[in-house]
Structure 1
Amino acid sequence: MSYPLMISLLIEHMIGLTDAVFLGRVGDVALGACALGGVYYMAMFMLAFGFGFGAQIIIARRNGERRYNRIAPTMVQGCYFMLVLAVALFAASQYFSPIILRDIIESPQVYGATVDYLHWRTYGIFFSFLCVMFRAYYVGITQTKILTVNSIVMLLSNVALNYCLIFGKGGFPAAGIVGAAIASSVSEAVSLLFFIIYTSMTADKRKYGFRRAFTLRPHLLKGMLSISGWTMVQSFISVSIWFIFFLAIEHLGERPLAVTNIVRNISALLIMVISAFATTAGALISNQIGAGEQRCLFKTCGMTL
């Protein structure tokens, strides 16, 4: 389970790295603004990531209990919540981000580029948040291989769009950092479309309860929030610290901020490996609890260590 998930996380992290590679050819301002805007966006995304972790635990529990018809309803209720959260964060970011960033970013050039980047990048919230629920679904039912394929499709889309939109190739105007933001958002839309098509074609709709999954069930959402509330806060804080660090570096100049962006993207590769093992362990343990195999829990944790 860990290997496909690990590969998918590494590939998805390469999206940020490819943005840095392309924007490094545009200039230090674009690269530094991408760092600030990227971490700002990631802090919002981590709220969804934390919620998805809680949803994954419940899905895995139902899978272990063999109550398969409860899995799709849980996933769909999570999608409803993600859409509401995405609308709220998108509206708040579009309105408040320019006001907040104007007082904390020293360089006018970096500020302008960061606001331009975020204006287009936050459109990806609607797609990436729903992708989190599909990831929770496939990890919860221990079918992680498709995540690798999805990540490859997403990365290839991002690379092609970055090349066309940043530098103005293939008949597109050269958009610089705005092109990078649009490319990332569109690649997330491609990822979501892939998940929807693949799931509709391959999922056992009767087994997992997809046919009756779209009725609003607040009690399922309440159960997910009771588990994922703290993981949402923890995930948000873990990335917000990076944003504060990048702000401190920005006050040293545009070049140090650009260099820090590259170093962070490279150093974070190790975190992807750790995250894959942690996610897999969580899914397996929840499956074992659901199956009544509590005696295996410490053994599973020991194998992960």
Structure 2
Amino acid sequence: MKDEISYGNIWRIAYPIIIGSVSQTILNITDTVFVGRLGELELAAGALGVLIYLTIIMVINGFTIGNQIIMARRFGEDRPNEIGRTFSNAFFLLFAIVTVVFVSIKMAAPSLITNLVSNHDIATLVGDFVQVRIWGLFFAAFMLLFRAFYVATANTKVLIAVTSTTVGLNIILNYALIFGKLGLPAYGFVGAAMASVISELVGFIIILGFTIYNRYFTKFSLVKLRYFKSKIVGEILKIASPMMLQHLISFSAWFVIFLIIERMGERSLAISNIVRSLYITMMVPIWGFAEATNSLVSFLMGEKRFERVPILVRRSMLLSFSGVFLIVCLSYPFLHQIIGFYTTDANLIAATLPVVKVVMLGSIIMSLGFIAFMAISGTGNTLIAFGLEFSDIALYIVLAYILTVHLNANVTTMWFIETFYSGYMLIVCLLYLRFGKWREKIV
């Protein structure tokens, strides 16, 4: 890659990921809109059901990002066969991980959800949703692994076709399976889970077909059983396991927050589901620039061009901040109408407005903090990144506990914690990039 830290090259890698994030955001919004039309109970249950699956898939994403870091490093070192070795070991290891998770969820989820969720009706809906949604785990997990390969090798355009097709199909299937349209039965709330599973299957077929068509299995020696070595598995787990733990703790903490909010009442949980959807929308530019930064940092370190890493981080931060700030500015005057897409309840819209405004501030700070965090991960210091994230999450949970138990905070105050979380991440990550010994990390 020439001039790898130019604004143009960062954008070239990031924009297909951003478009993919836009597609996923549209999916998230339409899912919530469709479910919201079923009623406030379903809207509340959707928040927890999606978060359970999202927590699982983000742990898998942590594993694939760990492999992305290694593959990007090998790409920078111009060692394509080593990329194949990493991918092959990751492929077989991921299959084992997903199988264990799938079986565990199928067996343990019903009783666990009943014990965690206080409202019986919500617990029943969440349990039914998860039992169907978990079938998509295999397809989603391997899509993420192939995605990591394409991001690591700076070949991200295929992600546009994969995510756009997946999301377009999901919207159609949501409409058909939830409400019984297009000649299909009406499955109601569970129909949303069915639609997502089918869409993920199609997305996996597309990215697999693209890989076969371009002969990447041959060019990079992908998925070779003879490459499966315990030494390489150990190297993968050394980098990937802190990322998996970081994602588990991060999204588990969000799930804990939603459980706390659930005890505030059905209305508060419904508000939070809408806010979560809009928060993810405001985060769209961040994901693309963060993943591009992660891969480019590892690439630069593979070339041993350490002095260019801070320049890359600053430029990525500027691009990320500009994208989020633009979304916030454009959407702020129309918040009432935007929330109206999710519900026709005037009281629910009025109660959601102040929470969304709080989250807007958090998203602006996160546009800087998450870039710095993913830069640290890109250096290969994933254990350090995990430690920084863990300290942030610990303070996040403690603050949530104090606000709810001792100060009887409302849902708006609860969501203000996101601003604290983002600010803390930004400060500690910048301090580490300035004073830490990340240049010495060998992957």
Q: TM-score scaled to structure 1, two decimals?
A: 0.95
Trace 1:264-303 onto structure 2 (pairs within 5 A). Answer: 264-303=276-315
Residue 30 of structure 1: aligned partner: 42
When structure 1 is superposed on structure 2, of 149-158 and 78-87 the one drifting more is 78-87
1:131 to 143, 150, 154: 143
Matched, 1:227 2:271: no
3-state DSSP of counterpart to 1:210:
coil
Deviations 1:135-180 (A, max 9, x none): 1000000011111221101101110110111011122111011110
Letter in 2 for 1:235: H
> 1:181-232 CA distances to partner (integer Å, 9 max, x unpaired)?
0111111111111110011001444431238466422322221110111111
Which of 6, 11, 23 aligns to 1:11? It is 23
Is the counterpart of residue 167 in structure 1 residue 169 in structure 2? no
Letter in 2 for 1:145: K
Residue 153 of structure 1 pairs with residue 165 of structure 2: yes
1:109 counterpart letter in structure 2:
D
| Alpha carbons 1:72, 1:213 under 8 Å: kept | no
- The one-character-per-residue Cα deviations of 1:277-298 (angstroms, maximum 9, x if unpaired) are 1211111111122223333222
Give the gaps of 5 or more residues in structure 1.
none
Unaligned runs of at least 5 residues, structure 2: 1-12, 318-443
- 1:168 & 1:211 partners in 2: Cα distance? 41
Question: Distance in 1 between the 2:34 and 2:234 partners?
Answer: 43
Corresponding residue for 2:105? Answer: 93
What is the one-letter code of the residue matched to 2:115? D
SS in 1 for 2:276: helix
Q: Rg bigger for which structure?
A: 2
Q: Retained in 2: the 8 A contact 1:69–1:206? A: no
Q: Note if 1:53 corresponds to 2:65.
A: yes
**Residue equivalent to 1:197:** 209
Q: Aligned equivalents of 1:107 and 1:297: distance in 2?
A: 49
User: Match of 2:130?
Assistant: 118
Distance 1:300-1:213 versus aligned 2 partners, 3 A rule: farther
Q: Aligned in 2, Cα 1:204/1:85: closer, same or farther, shift over 3 Å?
A: closer
Q: Note if contact 2:211-2:217 (Cα within 8 Å) is conserved in structure 1.
A: no
Query: What SS does the corresponding residue of 2:283 show, helix, strand or coil?
Result: helix
Aligned residues: 305
8 A contact 2:91–2:223 mirrored in 1: no
Q: Which has the higher contact order (CA 8 A, sep 6+)?
A: 1
The letter of the residue matching 2:22 is: L
Identity %: 32
Offset from partner CA, 1:76-108 (integer Å, 9 cap, x none): 321212211111111111111111111221221
Alignment of 1:174-189 (within 5 A): 174-189=186-201
